[in-house]
Amino acid sequence: MSLHLVLGGVRSGKSRYAQELASSHEKVIYVATANAKDDSMKERVKRHQADRPKSWTTLEAYRDFSAHKKELQEADFVIVDCLTFMLSRLLFEKEEKVEHFQWSAEELQEVEEIIHEQIDELIDALGSTPSAIVSNEVGLGVVPESWLGNVFRDISGRAHQRVGARASEVTLMVAGIPLKIKE
């Protein structure tokens, strides 16, 4: 497997770097995990779309990747952009069921298990296809003030560990510069 985890802060060059990794490949699938609900997010999506070649195929998905296994494994390269949005969307699925994020330890464990299952399903669906999974390294920032912020930071950190353990390469983007963490 040739799985590359690309981590970094906001606007650190993560997506650009993943696109550079894919640029020499002909059949590229760009897995977009975001849900563009507000104007700023819609604008960000437009910028990302403009930055990538028109020949690339976009797959909008954040879960149930086994349904796309054949398509993903027939690609020359897959970019998943980004794991952060995938995690937040999975987390907010739970929020719809529980009022005001008042979750028990058991409910948090349940959510994290679902997230880990979806990460494993994604990686398994990619198979041996050369791939880059992009994600925000939120653990390097300030300590979140809110309970939900802390929960997300912790879940995100453990998710990165899970992907990093299975990745053949891990790169940390800092100021547009790729720093190899695992080769």
Catalytically annotated residue among 4, 48, 100, 160: 48
Q: Answer yes or no: 100 catalytic.
A: no
Sign of the Cα torsion 134, 139, 142, 145 reads positive
DSSP letter for each residue of 27-78: SEEEEE-----SHHHHHHHHHHHHHS-TTSEEEE-SS-GGGGHHHHHTSSEE
| Residue 87 to residue 91: CA distance in whole angstroms | 6
Dihedral of CA atoms 99, 157, 86, 38 in degrees, nearest 10, equals 70
Q: Which residues pair with 30 in a beta bridge?
A: 58, 79
Which helix (H) or strand (E) segment is 25 a member of?
Answer: none
List CB contacts of 1: < 8 A, sequence separation 6 or more.
126, 127, 128, 166, 168
Q: What 3-state class would DSSP assign to 135?
A: strand
Please give the positions annotated as active site.
48
